[in-house]
Amino acid sequence: MTVAASLDQDCASTLKVCRAPLNNLFVCPQTGAALTVQRGALVSSDGRRYPIVREIPRFVTDDKYVGSFSFEWNTHTDTQLDAFNGSASSEAIFAEKTALRPVDVAGKLVLDAGVGAGRFSDVLSRWGANVVGIDLSYAVEAAHANFRDRANVMIAQADIGKLPFADGTFDLIVSIGVLHHTPSTETYFKALVPKLKPGGRIVIWVYPNEGDYKIRNYWIPYTSRIPAEAFYDWCRWFVPWAARRRESLLVQVIHRLFPFSNQGLGMENDILDTFDGYSPSFHGIHSNAEVTGWFADTGLAEIKALPVLTSVTGIRPSSTGPAGTASTGSG
Amino acid sequence: MTSRPIRRTCNVVWVSFYLAFIAMALMVRGRLPAAVLWRSLSGMRWFRSRFRQRLDDFSPEQGTCWVANVAGGPISDRDARSRLQLYEDKRPIGPPHSLHDDIRTLGGGRFSHWANHLYFSTSDGSDPRSNGRTYEVVEQ
C-alpha cells in the first residue's frame, strides 16, 4: 500500500465519510465543485485543497476575528454540554429558543452553524438528528473531541459566509447565539438560507437590542481589545468574588453598569458566560421586526417569532416565491 | 520568565483599572447610567443616618396594591436592592422586592420600594387609610 493510499484510507475513516447519511456532504466553498479525499485533504476537481487536520476538515486558514471563541471553547471544552455536566440546561435552552422537539429533528440532516464546543449539537445528536457542526474558530477541536464517538455528528472548521455545502443540503439549520458575532448578522443569516432543502426549516436566535445586551454593546469595542488570556484571568477572579458579595451595594451597582453572568448554572458557567459576553469582536443587537424582516427578504415562509425574544423560525417554500408571499406571525 | 500566578495577578489588576476607566468614560459620554452610581453612593449608609419614615399618604393603585411616597435617599429596587423594611403597627410585613403584579393580586403584605414610591399591600387586604394601623419604613 502506498503512503498516499494509506493516508486516504485514514482520512476516510476518521472523517466518517463512509457513514451515511453524513456521506459526501462537503463541496468546494469557492466553486461548489465536489470534493474527494486525497492525501490528508479534501480536493476539488480543479485542484483546490482543504486540509484535514487532526481529523477535522478545514475550509479556512485561521480563526480570523473569532480568536476569543477559540480560547473560550478550548478552555471550557465541556462546561455547557449536558452529556458531560449531567444537567439538562442546554436541552431546556435549546427547546425554549427553537421550539423544536425530538420528533422534529430525529433522522433529519441538521446544520449547527456556529457549533462552539457543541452544546446544542449534543442535544440534536441525542435527539436522533444527523448533525454537521461548523465553526470559524478553533472551537472545532473541542467539539470534535466531544463527539469523537458519535457516528451522527461531523465537525468542520468553516466560515458561515462561505459554506462548504451545496444549496439545498439540509433539512434543518439552527444557529443559536452565533450570527450576531459575525461582521453582519443579516448577511451571514442570508448565506445560510440557500443551504436549506425546499421545505426545510431554519431557526435562529440573536441578541435582542435591549437590557444587558444593549449595555454590553457599549463595552464591546473596549473589552474585545483586552487579550483573551488577560480578560479570562480577570473573569476567573471577578465572577466568584462578585458571587460571594451578591447582596452588597457595590456589587449590585457594578452589575447595573457591567452586567455579568449569574445564571444559576454553576460558577464555571458564569465565568464562561461573562467572558463570552464581553470578549467577541462583534456583538450585533437586533429587534424582532428586523430579524423577521430578514426572513421575509429571503423568501422564507411560515415565519414565526418565537416566545423568546429575537428567536425566529421559518421554512423554505417548496417552490420559492417572491419575498412578499411570506407570512409573519408572532408567538 | 514571569510565573503564571504572578501574571494572573497582574492581569486582574490591570484589567480592573482598565474597566474602571472605561466605565467612567462611558458614563461621561452618557452611554452608561451615571445616575445609578450617584444614587448608589449618595444612598450608602456611610454618609448618613439610618433612614426611617412614617407613611401617611396612601393612594390606591390596582387590586390590593397601594402607593405611598418615600423621601429620596435610600437605594430603591430600581437602582440596586432596597434595604427598606415595611412595618405595620411595628410588625414587619413582606416579603420585600415583590413583583408589582404579586402585590396587586396576592397582597398579604408584599411590597416593593421603587424610586420614590412604596408599592405595598396591607397584611389582610384592608384599606390603610381607614384600618387604624400605622405604617413605617425603616432601613435595615
Confidence of residue B42 (pLDDT cuts 50, 70, 90): low
Cα B140 from Cα B131, distance rounded (Å): 26
Mean pLDDT value across residues B82-108: 92
Rounded mean pLDDT of A138-143?
A: 97
CA distance B74 to chain A (A): 11
- A249 to chain B, closest Cα gap in Å: 7
pLDDT at A112 over 80: yes
Residue located via cell numbers 387590586 = B63
Per the listing, cell 443579516 goes with: A186
Of B14, B36, B43, the CB nearest to A257: B36
C-alpha A196/C-alpha A199 separation (Å) is 8
Domain layout of chain B by residue ranges: 4-47, 52-139
- Please give the share of chain B, as a percent, with pLDDT higher than 70: 91
Lowest mean pLDDT among A23-37, A91-105, A288-302: A23-37
Residue B15: pLDDT above 70? Answer: yes
pLDDT score of B1 more than 60: no
pLDDT band at A2 (very low <50, low <70, confident <90, very high): very low
Please state, rounded to an integer, the average pLDDT across all residues of chain A. Answer: 89
Chain A to chain B Cβ contacts (< 8 Å): 60
Nearest to A206 by CA among A217, A218, A222: A217
At residue B137, the 3 state secondary structure works out as: strand
b/e map A154-178, b = 16+ CB within 10 Å: bbbbbbbbebbbbeebbbbbbbbbb
Does residue B46 have a pLDDT over 80?
Answer: no
Contact: B40, A252; criterion CB under 8 Å: yes
Alpha-carbon span B10 to B4, nearest angstrom: 10
Q: pTM (2 decimals)?
A: 0.78
Residues A273-325 pLDDT 10s: 999 999 999 999 999 999 999 999 999 999 999 999 999 999 999 875 444 33
Specify the pLDDT at position B12. 97
Give all strands (DSSP E) within A65-186, no chain letters: 109-113, 130-135, 153-157, 170-176
pLDDT, position B31: 87
Partner-chain contact A230 B14, CB within 8 Å: yes
Neighbours of A265 (CB within 10 A): 18
Indicate if the pLDDT at residue A327 is higher than 50.
no
pLDDT over 80 (residue A10): no
Asked if residue A136 lies in contact with residue A160, where contact means CB atoms within 8 angstroms, the answer is yes
Measured CA to CA, the distance from residue B65 to residue A138 in angstroms comes to 55
The counts of H helices and E strands in chain B are 3, 8
Give the count of beta carbons closer than 10 Å to the beta carbon of residue A180. Answer: 24
Cβ–Cβ below 8 Å for B11 and A253? no
Instruction: For residue range A155-165, list pLDDT tens digits in order.
Output: 999 999 999 99
Q: In terms of C-beta density within 10 A (0-12 exposed, 13-18 middle, 19 or more buried), how is residue A193 classed?
A: buried
| Mean pLDDT of the A78-101 span | 93
For the ranges A231-235, B81-85, B96-100, B132-136, the lowest mean pLDDT is seen at B81-85
A223 interaction partners in chain B (CB closer than 8 Å):
19, 22
Q: What is the ipTM of this complex?
A: 0.85
Whether A330 shows a pLDDT value over 80: the answer reads no
Q: How far is CA A121 from the centre of its chain?
A: 9
Interface membership of B14 toward A (CB under 8 Å): yes
The residues, ordered by sequence, that sit 6+ positions from A86 with a Cβ below 8 Å of its Cβ are: none
Min mean pLDDT across A86-90, A109-113, A185-189, B45-49 is at B45-49
**What pLDDT was estimated at residue A11?**
46
d(CA A306, CA A300): 15
Lowest mean pLDDT among A33-37, A174-178, B63-67: A33-37
> Which residues, in sequence order, are bridge partners of residue A53?
A56
Is A252 close to B81, i.e. CB distance below 8 A? yes
Q: How far is A212 from chain B (nearest CA, A)?
A: 11
Closest alpha carbon to A289 in A309, A308, A315, A316: A309
The residue-averaged pLDDT of B20-42 equals: 84
Interface check for B15 against chain A (CB to CB < 8 A): the answer is yes
Confidence of residue A115 (pLDDT cuts 50, 70, 90): very high
Interface-testing mutation among B4, B7, B12, B24, with chain A (most A C-beta atoms within 10 A): B12
| Average pLDDT of the segment spanning A14-42 | 76
As a three-state string, the secondary structure of A220-275 is HHHHCCCCHHHHHHHHHHHHHHHHHCCCCHHHHHHHHHCCCCCCCCCHHHHHHHHH
Range from A259-273, B43-57, B115-129 carrying the lowest mean pLDDT: B43-57
Please identify which residue in the block is written with the cell numbers 488570556: A229
CA A174, CA A178: separation in Å to the nearest integer? 10
Contact A156, A140 (CB under 8 A): yes
- Residues 19-78 (B) with a CB less than 8 A from some CB of A: 19, 22-23, 26-27, 31-33, 36-37, 40, 43-44, 75
B97 contact residues in A (CB cutoff 8 A): none
Per the model's pLDDT, the better-predicted residue between A118 and B52 turns out to be: A118
**How confident is residue B45, by pLDDT bands cut at 50, 70 and 90?**
low
Mean pLDDT, to the nearest integer, of A118-142?
A: 97
Residue B83 has pLDDT above 90, yes or no: no
From the CA of A214, how many Å to the nearest CA of chain B? Answer: 10
Instruction: Please give the pLDDT value at position A9.
Output: 46
